Amino acid sequence: MCTSRMQDEQTLVCRGLFQKESRIDKFLNLKVSLSTGEEGVIESPFGQSGKFKVRLRTSLQPDTIARLPKGKRGKKEGAESDEGSSDVAPVEIILRWKKYVFDPARQLAQ
């Protein structure tokens, strides 16, 4: 599962989709969708540990903002409050792509 936090209303910082050693530049500008319905693209890597930025097409919905941690402090506070409520599901990032075996260019396709 990929976890994310909100940087601003159209940018998320995500982790868990790629490993630390992965080359994220192969996946730049590929479309992703959130489990809440919003769509965006992978914009750039973020740091050295497999994190990346997702730029959304539109602003996040208020319901989605309530489900995302606001940063390191928000994540700790959110973890304590989420233990009491079992109905809140985390926001997941979904990346769908294909790699054709016999493609000489070895590109990723969506």
**What local confidence, expressed as pLDDT, does residue 53 receive?**
94
Look at the chain and report how many structural domains it folds into. 1
pTM attached to this predicted model: 0.74
Q: What residue numbers bound the domain in which 11 lies?
A: 3-73+90-96
Is residue 26 situated within a structural domain?
A: yes
CA 82 distance to own-chain centroid: 20
Residue holding tokens 């994310």? 4
Residues linked to residue 3 through DSSP beta bridges, in sequence order: 15
Is residue 60 situated within a structural domain?
A: yes
Is residue 54 situated within a structural domain?
A: yes
More confident residue, 94 or 1: 94
More confident residue, 7 or 70: 7
Question: Which pLDDT tens digit goes with each residue over 37-78?
Answer: 999 999 999 988 889 999 999 999 999 888 887 655 444 444
Is residue 101 situated within a structural domain?
A: no
Average pLDDT over residues 14-33: 89
How far, in Å, CA of 84 to CA of 29, rounded? 38
Give me the helices (H) in the chain, please: 62-67, 72-84
Show the tokens assigned to 15: 């982790």
